[in-house]
Each structure stands twice: as C-alpha cells, then as structure tokens.
Homo-oligomer: A and B are copies of this chain.
Amino acid sequence: MREQFHGELAGLSEQMVEMTRLAGSAIGRATRALLDADLPLAESVITADEQIDDIQHEIEEKSLELLARQQPVATDLRVIVTGLRMSSDLERMGDLARHVAKLARLRYPNSAIPPELNSTILEMGQAAGRIVAKAGSVIASRDVAMAMELESDDDEMDRLHRDVFRLLLSPDWTHGVETAIDVTLCGRYYERFADHAVSVARRVTYLVTGERAHVSS
C-alpha cells in the first residue's frame, strides 16, 4: 500500500519532469520562430501549450485524489502540496513560451527582433533552455547543489536582460517605439520564465532542507 503510494508520488514527479521537457522544447522553438520569423514553428508552439496545461490538470486531480485517499502527513504531505505549486510554475513557463511565439506570429513575415539584438535574444533562449533542463534534473534528483546552480544561471539571464535594455537605450537605436515595446515584453517573458524555474528549484530545496529561500521577482 505504502509502496504503491510512493510509486504514485514518483509518478507525479515524472509528470513534472515531463512538463520541464515540454516547456524547454517550447521556449527553444519559440526563440527560433522569433528570430527566423518562422510562422509554422510559432503556431506549433502556441498549439502545443495545451499539452502542458493538460498535464498540470492531471497533476492537480491526481494530487487531490492522493490527499483524499492516502491522508498523508509530514513529508509526504509537503511533497504533494509543493508539487502542486511547482506544477503551477511550470504551467506558467509554458504560457511565457507561448507569449514569445505569439510575438513571432504577430510580426510575421517580419522578425520582431532587430538584427543587433539577435544574439542577445538567442542567448536568452539558450539560458532559458539550460535553466528549465536543470529544473527538471532538480525535480528528478532533489539535488540541492544543482538547485543552487540555478541561482547563478538566473543571474546570467538578468545580465542578458540588462543588455537588452542597454541596446534599447543606446543612441544608435533606430527601430522606433513599436519594436522597443516588442523587445521589452519579450525580454520580460524570458526573465519571468527563468524566475519560475528558480522558484521550482527553491521549492525542491525547501522540501529537502526545510529552509525557505526568499523568492522575489
């Protein structure tokens, strides 16, 4: 009985890892769609977000069922409740990747991103991919040291985000206000994507150590 219960908890954890895979794929493809003005790719990201939402609903229903049927206490209870929180973060990361893809779609056949920002946005997309992959490993392994690494990955994302603003505000900016708005929102989507991944890692750390890191954004 108890073994079966822990099997079910492991199942929830695997579903969350699957969410990180889907969110990672989504942000990677959204970034390519954005930089290459690739409409079918953008559409595919927008459509695929439903899968992430569906897994979140499954996790929610399964968690409620486990709480009702198994009446867990102490650590098991915290694992389930924390899982609910993490699945919300991961669902939101899917939304943010979708927002990037929608921006690509909105400006098609043009690219929303001017050439001099391409490499920074590409790096933000790559950083987002690394962070979400690491969040998946942290969920699977409960490796607190790896969870700490996400903090410095997030610092890198913040550095790239500042680069975006620096380029927007440089006297050489010739792309007007509309593109500045697009780039501003886009930068915010990547930054928030990383914040949610950090939040996932912090929740795992809290589960393992009982110490709460302050989550700010």
Chain A residues in the interface with B (C-beta under 8 A):
57, 63-64, 67-68, 71, 73-74, 77-78, 81, 84-85, 88, 95, 165, 168-169, 173, 177-178, 180-181, 184-185, 188, 212, 216-217
B contact residues around A185 at 8 Å (CB): 184, 188
A117 to chain B, nearest CB (A): 13
Known: A68-B77, A168-B181, A181-B181. 13 other contacts (CB 8 A): A57-B212, A64-B78, A68-B74, A71-B71, A84-B84, A84-B85, A85-B88, A95-B217, A169-B177, A169-B178, A169-B181, A177-B177, A188-B188
Chain A at the B interface: SS class: helix
* A-B contacts, 10 listed (Cβ < 8 Å): A57-B212, A64-B81, A67-B67, A67-B77, A68-B77, A81-B81, A168-B181, A169-B178, A181-B184, A184-B185
B contact residues around A68 at 8 Å (CB): 73-74, 77
B188 close to A177 (CB less than 8 A): no
Distance A169 CA – B182 CA, assembled complex (angstroms): 12
Q: Which 7 A-B pairs have the closest CB atoms?
A: A71-B71, A68-B73, A184-B184, A177-B180, A181-B184, A180-B180, A68-B77
A108 to chain B, nearest CB (A): 19
